[in-house]
Amino acid sequence: MTQARRILVAVGGGIAAYKVCEIVSSLIQAGHSVRVILTETAQQFITPLTFSTLARHPAYTDQKFWHPDQARPLHIELGEWAEVFLIAPLTAHTLAKLSQGLADDLLTSTVLASTCPIVLAPAMNTVMWSQAVVQRNWANLTTDPRYHWLSPRSGRLACDAVGPGRMAEPEELLTLLDSLLITGGKRDLRGNKILITGGGTREHLDAVRFLGNPAAGKMGLALAQAGQSRGAEVLLVHGPQALEIPPEIDHIAVTSGLEMAERLNQAWADFDWLIMAAAVGDIRPKTNATTKLPKDQIPNPLPLEFIPDLVKHLASRKRPDQQVIGFAAQTEDIATPAWAKLQDKELDLIVANPIDRPDSGFNSPTNQAVIFHKSGAKITVPLTTKLKLAHKLYDLILQFAE
């Protein structure tokens, strides 16, 4: 069971309000305490009863702004209660009020009466979003360190417009909320540029056959999301994967280990840290046909060659102000070979994770690890989400830099 945390959710007046039901339900199922505020227009799209049922607690509206039997004003109580505050969907109207510091309803009054991190998830018509005044209001809020956000996504909207305006998906918002609950909204990685790799590589024999591995890219994505939530500038270089990369994260897709090496060699000099979470192949076919080979033309035995050690090469080029963090996916004894790899490749840290234990390794949302620092320090991380493992790694990097 996740440690129960206190999350305040404010629902704005837009068709995307239905997505917030999934967010509230997921938070409750994870063991958190949730309180919900609905604006007057939000109640035209979804009822307070719906959120009261999902949150296991009565939803709040402007009609309940002041309770005669309540000793203190509701917006003060809610503002002090919340550890993190989500506003979704954020409408153009509420955006304008927040930008000017207005407080004429329960939602905006609670914003001013609280100090916790606030997550903004705008949703509106494409033309409305593109208006200069809306963009000015948005820029005004996003320069405030208290606010965290996921910008509108592009696609077909309920009004049939096509373009930016869709609210970020519940899963994306839940990830950001999790990060803020872990960090308290601190941006302690601001000023750092982090180069991250994720997913597996594919070494093609022909147009359809390849040597690869089951890496799905979840650890690399978690590292990118965690780093960005803490204020870092991140670039994710990833192999082929089905995971959708949020538009806030700069990323480059590659296929082979050679392509990844080319991209990293080009970028490495401009970054402070390199975190090699990708499962880069060790071997590749000696030949690579551009068309599909007939079965009887596939070499047997298949001639293979080793792929140059990418992380070792990049570590050898690092400046004194740069750090290289490796990952080692292992079976059975994970610690001994990981420590040997750290020394051989001259890494600053290495994360050894098992791929032969339940709920760990490739394509799992959770992981466990043994982390070594070059000083010899050893930290064991029990089974946790990959997002929490990512934050733990950043905590250790900062700790060892002190």
Within 13 Å, how many C-alpha atoms sit on residue 162's CB side? 0
- CA dihedral for 57, 87, 143, 223, sign (positive or negative): positive
Q: Do 179 and 229 touch, CB atoms closer than 8 A? A: yes
Alpha-carbon 200 to chain mean position: 19
Paired with 236 in beta bridges are 196, 251
Structure tokens at 81: 């209660």
- Per-residue pLDDT at 118: 98
Which residue matches tokens 């506003």?
A: 87
Q: What is the reported pTM?
A: 0.94
Q: 291-342 pLDDT, tens per residue? A: 999 999 999 999 999 999 999 999 999 999 999 999 999 999 999 999 999 9
Q: How many CA atoms lie within 13 A of 321 on its CB side?
A: 8
Cα 399 to Cα 394: distance, rounded to the nearest angstrom: 8
Look up residue 363 and give its amino acid.
N
The helix-helix angle for 170-183 and 17-29 (nearest 10°) equals 50
pLDDT along the chain (402 residues), means of 10: 86 97 98 97 97 97 71 91 98 98 96 98 96 98 95 88 92 97 97 97 97 95 98 97 92 97 98 97 95 95 96 96 96 96 98 93 94 98 97 97 84
Q: Which of 159, 269, 302, 398 is catalytic?
A: 159
Distance, in Å, from the CA atom of 244 to the CA atom of 233, rounded to the nearest integer, reads 19
Which pLDDT score, from 0 to 100, does residue 78 have?
96
Domains and CATH numbers, the chain: 6-183 (3.40.50.1950), 193-401 (3.40.50.10300)
DSSP 375: T
Is 21 among the residues known to form the active site?
no
Q: What is the per-residue pLDDT for 66? A: 62
Please, where are the H alpha helices in 184-323? 218-229, 257-267, 310-316
| Residue ranges in 119-186 assigned as alpha helix (H) | 126-130, 132-142, 170-183
Q: Which residues are annotated as a binding site for CTP?
A: 282, 292, 308-311, 327, 341, 345
pLDDT of residue 2: 61
